[in-house]
A = this chain, B = another copy of it.
Amino acid sequence: MPNSAARPTLAAIAAEAGVSAPTVSKVLNGRFDVAEGTRLRVHDALVRHGYTPRQTEPSGLIDLLVQDIRSSWADTIVRGTVDAAAELGLGVVVSTSRARSASENWLDVVLRRGTDGVVAVVDPLRAVDRVRLAGCGVPVVLLDPLGEPDDGLPSVGVTNWQGGLIATEHLVGLGHRRVAVIGGPEPFWSTRARVEGYRAALSAAGITPDDALVRYGNFSESSGHEHAHALLELPQPPTAIFCGNDEQAMGALKAARERGLRVPADISLVGFDDVPVASWLSPALTTVRQPLESMAAEAVHLLARLVGGGAVGTRRTELSTELVVRESTAPPRR
């Protein structure tokens, strides 16, 4: 068992693998004059000890991992992170999951180059990567994680349950009784919380939730479009739809139009996120605002505390959602 407090040196790896320092150096630098068996043994020791070259000073860099950068939602997270980090004198390296899967050794590259910490958005790191990061003393903060909040790392999220609640309360308050939901992907923790909030608001108003009115999309405009059509074809269609994000609401808006329904006169629509486009739509979209920039800033600040040696445990920070009432909601007809 190596002394896990100190970062392992090349010499330590050499001792562990039963070779000389120059040999380890060769393996690290990809030279060809090393026997295959030796290379394997050394490689194994390097991995097991989470070796990173030399004692480096803080890089002044944090890594932001996002699944996909091609959305307004992601853009806002990037902005919030870059701005908050800049204020602390930290640079932000932005990586997408695509980039990570492209290079098999993504984490090797990051560790070699050096990083002060990692903000992982939505997609949790693979367990093996978490272990290596922990081994190298690199702190990680989760932003809007997919899974249950308390899984061993500090995380920043949003009050999803409350968001589902206030969106649905707003619709019920306008007089709607048949309210549908097109949630995000069903396995996501955030989706479940939002749908539960929706159910709670319905129940509180004495309305029995109807499972036919609960559907799950994948956050794309086309999935909103598709599910809205299915919902509106029902024998007893909803008079209002609460959508899992603004993209899905835009798809639903399109579907309503295609069926000759006016929004909000014939059908009310509520989104989630409040991306910039939401306010430019016609009708402008009523939506649940997520404070994405603040969430990103909070994640950066947590990370900075961890980098500075502070402890935050596995704390979960939740920022609150807020209903932004615009033009896409109104009382039901008749």
Contacts and interface: CB of A to CB of B under 8 A. Distances in A.
Interface of A: 59-61, 63, 69-70, 72, 75, 78-79, 82-83, 86-87, 89, 91-96, 98-99, 102-103, 109-110, 113-114, 250, 276-277, 280-282
B79 A113 contact: no
Contacts of A276: 72, 277
Given A69-B83, A75-B79, A282-B282, A93 B96 contact: no
Q: How many copies does the complex hold?
A: 2
A115 to B, nearest CB: 10
Contact of A86 (B70, B83, B99, B280): B99
Contacts of A86: 95-96, 98-99, 102
Contacts of A96: 82-83, 86
Given A69-B82, A79-B70, A82-B69, A92 B89 contact: no
7 contacts: A61-B93, A61-B113, A72-B276, A75-B78, A75-B79, A82-B99, A91-B95
A145 B277 CA distance: 28
Contact of A78 (B60, B78, B277): B78
Contact of A60 (B69, B91, B109, B280): B109
Contacts of A82: 69, 94-96, 99
A94 B113 CA distance: 16
Contacts of A89: 99, 102-103, 109
A276 B276 CA distance: 10
Nearest to A105: B89
A102 B110 CA distance: 26
Greatest chain B CB density within 10 A among A78, A82, A103, A109 is at A82
A280 B246 CA distance: 13
Contacts of A109: 60, 89, 91
A93 B93 contact: yes
Given A75-B79, A89-B103, 17 more contacts: A59-B113, A60-B113, A61-B93, A61-B113, A69-B82, A70-B79, A78-B94, A83-B96, A83-B98, A86-B98, A86-B102, A89-B109, A91-B93, A92-B93, A250-B280, A277-B280, A281-B282
A190 to B, nearest CB: 23
A19 to B, nearest CB: 22
Contacts of A72: 75, 276
A87 B98 CA distance: 9
Contacts of A103: 89
A127 to B, nearest CB: 23
A89 B83 CA distance: 25
Greatest chain B CB density within 10 A among A69, A83, A93 is at A93
A66 to B, nearest CB: 9
A249 to B, nearest CB: 12
A34 B275 CA distance: 54
Contacts of A59: 113
A70 B60 CA distance: 23
Q: Sort A-B residue pairs by CB-CB distance and give the 3 closest, nearest first.
A: A86-B99, A282-B282, A75-B75
Contacts of A250: 280
